[in-house]
Amino acid sequence: MDRTIRVMIIDDEESARKLLRAGIRWESLQMEVVGEAASGIEAINVIDDYRPDIVFVDISMPFMDGIEFTEVVTERYPYLIIIIMTAIDQFEYARKCVSLPVFEYMLKPMVRAEITKVLERARDRLSKEPDHWEEVRADSESTLLDDDHPIEHIRKYVEEHFTDPRMNLAFVAQRFGFSASYLSRKFKQDTGRNFVEFLTELRMEKATTLATAHEKMFCTAAEVGIPDPNYFSRCFKKYTGKSYSEYVKEKGSE
């Protein structure tokens, strides 16, 4: 291939993500680990930023497991190569899901040589296919260009529905009939802002209001459309510079 293959790792165990990232000679495979996620929900929210060709996903995660993630993501991105990681006691459960377009099931703990062989097969498949993240439907572009203010309509829609946990770039693109990659570029071009950042800011603005009212964190997370409290916690700290409990305590003392 004449490009670097992009890989994403989804596992709720940080040690497992680090081990996989460090244990493979990615460059020799013409691959790069471009991103990680600690849950299926987090992955769904950031996958459009990372645009992976290959995804390693643990079958057992809170809030959205690997099978649920696969069901959602393959509906939107049918060409994505998914490698499910599973422990021996979950293997039969994984094999029951043969109807899903999973490239390979791998038992934990995984062996470097076996991972490399699977990745070589994945590379061979990708070499025969176009980069699906760069594909843009011509009809979508022409439809979008025919509308004088398409991004303004989309921006208002997001502002009115950002508490919907399904809300992300792919969801909005599908609803309005555009490709996610084109909508991402067009949104940034017209507003000067990244779509994911715009959505996260809306959610965090509401979250700070709820935190000021001493709402419990797990309730706030659900109310702003991020039902995974760990992912919410990271978003909140990145936005405010403080943990949720620190923010609530600070506001309570004012």
Per-residue DSSP letters for 1-28? Answer: --SPEEEEEE-S-HHHHHHHHHHS-TGG
- Tell whether 112 and 95 lie within a shared domain: yes
Q: State pLDDT tens for residues 197-253.
A: 999 999 999 999 999 999 999 999 999 999 899 999 999 999 999 999 999 988 876
Give this prediction's pTM: 0.68
Question: Of 99, 133, 167, which one is at a domain's C-terminal end?
Answer: 133
pLDDT score for 142 = 47
Backbone angles phi, psi at 35, to 5 degrees: -175, 165
- Cα–chain center distance at 71: 13
- Tell whether 164 and 220 lie within a shared domain: no
Identify the CATH number of the domain in which residue 39 sits: 3.40.50.2300
Can you list the pairs that 126-131 forms with residues at least 24 positions away whose Cβ atoms lie under 8 Å? 126/1, 126/5, 126/53, 126/54, 126/81, 127/1, 129/79, 131/3, 131/53
Confidence of residue 91 (pLDDT cuts 50, 70, 90): low
- Tell whether 20 and 114 lie within a shared domain: yes
Q: What is the mean pLDDT of the chain?
A: 86
The answer, yes or no, to whether residue 153 has pLDDT greater than 70, is yes
Question: Of 175, 193, 211, which one is at a domain's C-terminal end?
Answer: 193
- Tell whether 227 and 164 lie within a shared domain: no
SS3 77: coil
Helix or strand (DSSP H, E) at 253: none
- For the chain, the domain total comes to 3
Q: Which domain holds residue 155?
A: 136-193
- Tell whether 118 and 140 lie within a shared domain: no
The answer, yes or no, to whether residue 135 has pLDDT greater than 60, is no
Q: Which of 104-118, 169-183, 235-249 has the lowest mean pLDDT?
A: 169-183
- Tell whether 19 and 110 lie within a shared domain: yes
Identify the CATH number of the domain in which residue 168 sits: 1.10.10
The answer, yes or no, to whether residue 148 has pLDDT greater than 60, is no
Q: State pLDDT tens for residues 13-46.
A: 999 999 999 999 999 999 999 999 998 888 988 8
Q: In sequence order, which residues have a C-beta less than 8 Å from that of residue 240 and are 6 or more positions away?
A: 204, 208, 247
pLDDT score for 3 = 87
